[in-house]
Structure 1
Amino acid sequence: MTAKIYIVGMGDDGLDGLTGHAKSKVRRAEVIVGSTPLLQRVPTDHPAERIVCDGGMQELELCVESLADRPTVMLAGGDPLFYGIARFLTDRIGKNRFEIIPHVSSMQLAFARVKESWDDAFLTNLAVQPLDRVVDVVRAAERVGMFTTEEISPSVVAESLLDRRIDYFNAYVCENLGTPNETITAGDLASIRGQEFSPLNVMVLVRRTGAADLPSGPAKRRLFGNPDDYFLQSRPKRGLLTPCEVRCIAMAELEIQSNSVVWDVGAGSGALAIEAAAIAREGVVYAIEMDVEDYNLMIENAQQFNVPSLIPVHGQAPEAWAELPDPDAVFVGGSGRMVPELVAGAISRLKDGRIVVNVSSPDNLVAVQAVLAEQGFVSDVRMINISRGLQQLDRVRFEALNPSFLVIGYRESAS
């Protein structure tokens, strides 16, 4: 049976920082493999044969395949499975050949130093991820941990974020973690910009409480189905904006024409109303919203998208639509108990058009269907489950959005 190779994670404090189990494997090793800096942390009087491997993953794979069947330790920095060598080697050679003994990663140390949880943080490595893609994810994140590079330093990251008006994070640059030269620099992004840091650093970003996401400000916009981060959103209510995939289906089912009169009841920060106004440029879209913060965000979003046919209406339905002209299409979004009542009131004013209702609870789904049936409307239902791919470390994971129901109502004569 071929002897296992022990991949041992090591910090800058060398053998002193290892667990008893890890130390015992190093003491008993007849062969120790690692980069020059890692091998230098092993006492010179250790009798094991040392194999220097500074040439990257491919050289490391060849080295492993050439090893004799002797007790062997392969040194790695921090946690070998966290942007380390272990995943590559186990994928290429097989898991049965190795046993992994992790050390605390520098990412863990960084979050510990700034006293922030990292269980919900976006973690990335700028050595393998394009900065532009990372910035788009950072825009909507609560916490971020990133390994920077000499070319893409914390200063460059700060500059890139500020260029996109993303200035609502506190920043920490954690240098030389676990060594006597350890330094933590804290500040806002403007203060980090222009500073120089050690190449061995982890940058941590923490969103300031209550900060709203800023839109990404694209040069080209779609007629509808624009990404969610193109719109200003109230941070405490993030996720209440109708997701772009749901918006696409809703817009198709509303059958909006260039001269349509549209009501968006419970418009929030205005994503659907704005896109409806882009289609109904010769008509008018009334976006009804009672929350003053969302109403103001809607106005800002409408200015960004240049949709003159959009008319924001600040007020609570049904009173807010009392003086409005009858609609050709109605969209109702919300999760409260008032939704069925609002649907009943809206369809009493609806012409020969369609109503689309976005609800998240089965109770509201059943109640809305009942209201439509009472008024002689045909109803179709779509249950929508969307998962979006998110680049996490060097792999894609899928993040599920909250499932929702679209109830589409129309008079049978208008089908």
Structure 2
Amino acid sequence: MTARIQIVGIGDDGLDGLTGQARQLIDQAAVLVGPSALLDKMPNSEAERVVVGSNLEQLQAAIRELGDSSAVVLASGDPLFYGIARYLTETFGKDRFEVIPHVSSMQLAFARVKESWDDAYLTNLATQPLDRVVDHIRTAELVGLFTTSAITPSVVAEALLDRRIDYFTAYICENLGTPDETVTQGDLQSIRNQTFGSMNVMVLVRRHGAADRPSGSERRRLFGNPDDLFLQSRPKRGLLTPSEVRCIALAELDLTKTSVVWDVGAGSGSLAIEAAAIANEGQVYAIEMDAEDYALMIENAKMFVVPSLVPVHGQAPAAWQELPRPDAIFVGGSGRVVPDLVAEAIQHLAPTGRIVVNVSSPDNLVAVQQVFGQAGLHHDVRMINIARGQYQLDRVRFASLNPTFLVLGWR
């Protein structure tokens, strides 16, 4: 039986930070495999040394050549956290390896800045394109980044500021766990003008209450625009109707150029704005009672040039009493009040009109269906599950959005 290969995590402090078990495995190894920076931290080992860099094919070849040798693969920090262990176990099988992790430098970085990292966006700039990372940062509360020699903290800061993402406090944590450990705090403007050592982790903490910046892309779709084109409020982010759901909802509303539309609970206006682009000779009334979201809707509308959009600051149903009778109604939101709002909205719907209700809970789904039935509407339902691709190393994985329901009603 082929001997198991030990994957041992090494910290910036080298041998001093290793457990007794990890040291023993390294001392007994006939072959050490890893990048030169980690091999150099093992000065007393008499094992054969196989230097591999970031080239995955080179690493594969080195593993295949080990045979039955007693071997240790050296990795930085926790090898299963944005490290090579996942790649190796998926390539050669889990039974081929044992993993002995070290404390991740990411974990140490968040400990130094005293922030919980359970909900943070974490990634490695060695494996992810900077543009994609910046788009994720735009909507994040907390961010942890493994930087590279090419994509340094100053490069990241420059990329964020170029896209008007200026609402983060940055911490650059260098040489973690060593006597030379340093943590530099500053805004992105100051970080962009500084240089740092190669061994660092960049932590970004969003300023309280800062709204997302739109991506700044000059291209606009008629509908289904990316979510990051719209300003969103904090901490209510996630209430914006995702682009995939918007596309289906707008299709089911059956809009024409001259449609009169109500968007009840419009939030920051993503669906109403796209409805206004379709019904560009009609009127789209976007009803929102939250002052912050209403202000963001105004800002979003400026970017899309939709003169048929009519923002309405008020609480339904009182806010719609003076509005023209709608050909189409979209209701979004959560809570027990949704079915009651739907029941009142139906009374105003044009004889050939359609209503689409977006709910996230099964209770509201059933309640809205009952309301449609009592009103004598034909109705149907769509359950929407969306997963968006995320790239890690040479693999694509999928991150699921929360499932949602569209309840469709028509006379």
- Shorter-chain TM-score: what band? over 0.9
Q: Counterpart amino acid of 1:349?
A: H
Q: Residue 399 of structure 1 aligns with which residue?
A: 399
Q: How does 1:195-344 map to 2 (within 5 A)?
A: 195-344=194-343
2:14 aligned partner: 14
Question: Which moved further from structure 2: 234-243 or 335-344?
Answer: 335-344
d(CA) in 2 for partners of 1:91 and 1:287?
49
C-alpha deviation, 1:94, in angstroms? 3.9
Aligned to 2:47: 49
Q: Aligned equivalents of 1:229 and 1:66: distance in 2?
A: 47
Which one is further off, 308-317 or 385-394? 385-394
| Cα shift at 1:31 | 3.7
Following superposition, the deviation at residue 394 of structure 1 comes to 5.8
- How far did residue 361 of structure 1 move? 2.5
Corresponding letter in the other structure for 1:50: E
Do the aligned partners of residues 366 and 95 (structure 1) sit closer, same or farther apart at CA in structure 2, a change above 3 Å counting? closer
Q: CA deviation at 1:255?
A: 0.8
In the TM superposition, residue 206 of structure 1 has moved relative to its aligned partner by: 1.4
Structure 2 residue aligned with 1:357: 357
Alignment of 1:117-266 (within 5 A): 117-266=116-265
Larger radius of gyration: 1
**Structure 1 residue identity aligned to 2:51:** C
- Written as runs of structure 1 = structure 2, the 5 A alignment for 1:33-48 is 33-44=33-44, 46=45, 48=46
Task: Quote the offset at 1:377 in angstroms.
Answer: 1.5
Structure-2 change in CA distance of 1:290 and 1:70 (3 Å)? closer
Distance 1:199 1:242 in 2: 40
Using the TM superposition, give the Cα deviation of residue 88 of structure 1 relative to its aligned residue in structure 2, in angstroms.
3.8
Gaps of 5+ in 1: none
Q: Shift of the alpha carbon at 1:104?
A: 1.7
Aligned to 2:23: 23
**1:197 Cα deviation (Å)?**
0.8
The answer to whether the 8 A contact 2:82-2:123 is kept is: no
Shift of 1:343: 2.0
8 A Cα contact 1:6 1:72, kept in partner: yes
CA distance change for structure 1 residues 335 and 87 in 2, over 3 Å: closer, same or farther?
closer
Per-residue deviation, 1:195? 0.6
Q: TM-score, normalised by structure 1?
A: 0.92
1:25 deviates by: 1.6
Q: 1:393 to 1:142 in 2, by over 3 A?
A: farther
Match of 1:96?
A: 95
Q: Aligned with 1:104: secondary structure?
A: coil
Query: Partner amino acid for 1:123?
Result: L
Q: Which residue of structure 2 aligns with residue 382 of structure 1?
A: 382
Structure 2 CA distance for partners of 1:322 and 1:64, relative to 1, 3 Å: closer
Q: Distance in 2 between matches of 1:168 and 1:40?
A: 40
Q: 2 CA distance for matches of 1:33 and 1:362?
A: 53
Alpha-carbon deviation of 1:222?
1.0
* Residue deviations 1:112-148 (CA, integer Å, cap 9, x gap): 2212222222222222211111101111112111121
- Identity across the alignment (%): 71
Aligned residues of 2:355 and 2:408 also touching (Cα < 8 A): yes
Quote the offset at 1:87 in angstroms: 3.4
Partner of 2:109: 110
Shift of 1:164: 0.7
Alignment RMSD, CA only?
Answer: 2.1
Give how far 1:177 is off: 1.8
Which residue is equivalent to 2:64? 65
How far apart are the structure 2 equivalents of 1:67 and 1:383?
51
**Distance in 2 of aligned mates of 1:66 and 1:397:** 30
Q: Is the 8 A contact 1:268 1:298 kept in 2?
A: yes
Task: Quote the Cα distance in structure 1 between the aligned partners of 2:254 and 2:84.
Answer: 54
1:53/1:59 contact within 8 Å kept:
no
The change in CA–CA distance for 1:392 and 1:38 in structure 2 (over 3 A counts) is: closer
Offset at residue 293 of structure 1 (A)? 1.2
- Preserved contact between residue 169 and residue 187 of structure 2 (Cα < 8 Å): yes
My pick for the range that moved more, 88-97 or 229-238, is 88-97
Q: TM-score, normalised by structure 2?
A: 0.93
Distance in structure 2 (CA, Å) of the matches to 1:396 and 1:262: 39
| Partner in structure 2 of residue 3 of structure 1 | 3
**Amino acid of the residue matched to residue 360 of structure 1?**
S
Query: C-alpha distance in 2, partners of 1:255/1:378?
Result: 15
Contact 2:50 2:62 in 1 (8 A): no
Q: CA deviation at 1:393?
A: 6.3
Deviation at 1:68, TM superposition (A): 6.3
Counterparts of 2:375 and 2:64 in 1: how far apart (Å)?
75
CA distance in 2, matches of 1:317, 1:205: 39
Query: Larger deviation: 380-389 or 88-97?
Result: 88-97
Question: Cα–Cα, structure 1 residues 68 and 324, in superposed 2: closer, same or farther, change >3 Å?
Answer: closer
Deviations 1:364-407 (A, max 9, x none): 22332232223321111112222222345664443322222212
Deviates more, 1:9-18 or 1:388-397: 388-397
Q: In structure 2, what is the Cα distance between the partners aligned to 1:112 and 1:135?
A: 24
Amino acid at match of 1:410: W
Question: Could you tell which deviates more after superposition, 58-67 or 246-255?
Answer: 58-67
Q: For residue 24 of structure 2, give the secondary structure of its aligned residue in structure 1.
A: helix
Q: What are the Cα deviations for residues 304-338 of structure 1, in whole angstroms up to 9, with x where unaligned?
A: 11101111111112221111111111111122333
